[in-house]
């Protein structure tokens, strides 16, 4: 029985991947939808997000953005060239894409600034309670779990759904119009780069995960991957909810003081 997976169909089509992977993706769809269809994006797309919510979102998401290359580095450390086709693919991809992430933290700060949230606030502000769950989860899964689990949770799940919401916000004329005209291009740069149009990263990550796992992994391994992917979506959703529910950042600081 050949359990080896090698993609032959188009990269960005689900039918190119093993049945178990398609079932995992389908099972995680409700959780993915809870992030993709979150009201946060509606507020942005309609051009009427309030500054306090935007500030919570920018400050609360910062550590995930800033640490993303380090999660990939944690994954890279698990690879060993020559061990398997999946290892080779993962190593090559991670080395190349850590570099791609290089400027993304800076572009996030540009977005924040254009949206009225000062850099210093993002860098030094106290993130709203409950917004660090996704970053903590990525650190845990990339540090302590398998290569496949870490890449599925971060490069497939988090990058994938981020591409979807980024595209919605980037496509919104109302959102662009809500920003100061000067520097609008720089403000939208992060969104532009992450919008899903031609972002093949999540698909490439899925290909790597499937190459590592093969065509017929044990049911408990599949279930574990499903749980890891779902947990990424759930932690993102929870963070977004906390951004909406939080009192202003200053109040949180006063309470904590
Ligand atoms: Fe990025």
The full DSSP string for 59-83 is HHHHHHHHHHHHHHHHHHTT--TTS
* pLDDT band at 1; cut points 50, 70, 90: very low
Q: Where are the alpha helices (DSSP H) in 51-197?
A: 51-76, 85-100, 104-114, 119-124, 133-144, 147-151, 159-171, 173-177, 184-187, 189-194
Neighbour tally for 228: CB within 10 Å: 25
Task: For 195-247, write each residue's pLDDT tens digit.
Answer: 976 678 999 999 999 999 999 999 999 999 999 999 999 999 999 999 996 66
Neighbour tally for 174: CB within 10 Å: 11
Ligand 1 centroid to 220 CA: how many Å?
31
Is the pLDDT score of 88 beyond 80?
yes
pTM of the model: 0.93
**Burial environment of residue 161 by CB neighbours within 10 A (0 to 12, 13 to 18, 19 or more):** buried
**CA distances for 109 relative to 17, 74, 106, 167, angstroms:** 36, 24, 5, 19
Q: What is the DSSP letter of 103?
A: G
Ligand 1 centroid to 66 CA: how many Å?
9
CA distance 60 to 122: 8
- The pLDDT of residue 199: 79
Is the pLDDT score of 144 beyond 90?
yes
Percentage of the chain beyond pLDDT 70 is 93
**CA distances for 152 relative to 146, 156, 171, 184, 202, angstroms:** 10, 5, 27, 33, 9
70, two tokens: 């380090």
Ligand 1 centroid to 106 CA: how many Å?
10
Ligand 1 centroid to 8 CA: how many Å?
27
Q: By the 8 A CB rule, do 152 and 229 touch?
A: yes
Task: For 9-24, write each residue's pLDDT tens digit.
Answer: 999 999 999 999 999 9
Radius of gyration of the chain (CA): 19
Ligand 1 centroid to 1 CA: how many Å?
39
Residue with the bigger pLDDT between 188 and 251: it is 188
Rounded to 5°, the CA angle 75-217-202 comes to: 45
Q: Is 131 helix (H, G, I), strand (E, B) or coil?
A: coil
Ligand 1 centroid to 153 CA: how many Å?
15
Torsional sign, CA 207, 24, 31, 252? negative
CA distance 72 to 104: 14
| Torsion of the alpha carbons at 149, 233, 139 and 218, rounded to the nearest 10 | -20
- The pLDDT of residue 129: 93
Superfamily grouping for domain 41-252: Heme oxygenase-like (1.20.910.10)
Torsion region of 183: left, alpha or beta (phi above 0 gives left; psi -120 to 50 gives alpha): left
Q: What is the mean pLDDT of residues 240-256?
A: 69
């Amino acid at each position: 029985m050949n359990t080896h997976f090698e993609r032959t169909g188009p990269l960005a089509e689900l039918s190119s991947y093993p049945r178990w992977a398609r079932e995992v993706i389908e099972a995680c769809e409700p959780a993915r939808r809870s992030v993709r269809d979150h009201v946060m994006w509606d507020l942005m797309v309609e051009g009427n997000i309030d500054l306090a919510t935007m500030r919570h979102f920018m400050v609360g998401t910062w550590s995930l953005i800033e640490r993303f290359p380090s999660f990939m580095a944690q994954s890279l450390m698990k690879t060993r060239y020559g061990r398997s086709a999946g290892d080779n693919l993962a190593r090559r991809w991670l080395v190349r894409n850590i570099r791609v992430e290089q400027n993304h933290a800076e572009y996030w700060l540009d977005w924040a600034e254009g949206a009225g949230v000062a850099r210093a606030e993002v860098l030094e502000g106290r993130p709203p309670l409950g917004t660090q769950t996704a970053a903590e989860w990525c650190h845990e899964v990339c540090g302590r779990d398998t290569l496949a689990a870490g890449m599925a949770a971060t490069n497939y799940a988090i990058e994938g759904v981020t591409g979807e919401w980024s595209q919605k916000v980037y496509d919104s004329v109302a959102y662009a119009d809500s920003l100061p005209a000067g520097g609008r291009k720089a403000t939208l740069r992060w969104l532009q780069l992450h919008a899903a149009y031609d972002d093949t990263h999540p698909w490439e990550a899925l290909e790597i995960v499937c190459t590592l796992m093969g065509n017929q992994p044990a049911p408990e391994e599949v279930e574990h991957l499903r749980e890891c992917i779902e947990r990424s979506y759930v932690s993102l959703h929870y963070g977004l909810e906390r951004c909406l529910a939080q009192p202003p950042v200053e109040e949180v600081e006063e309470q904590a003081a």
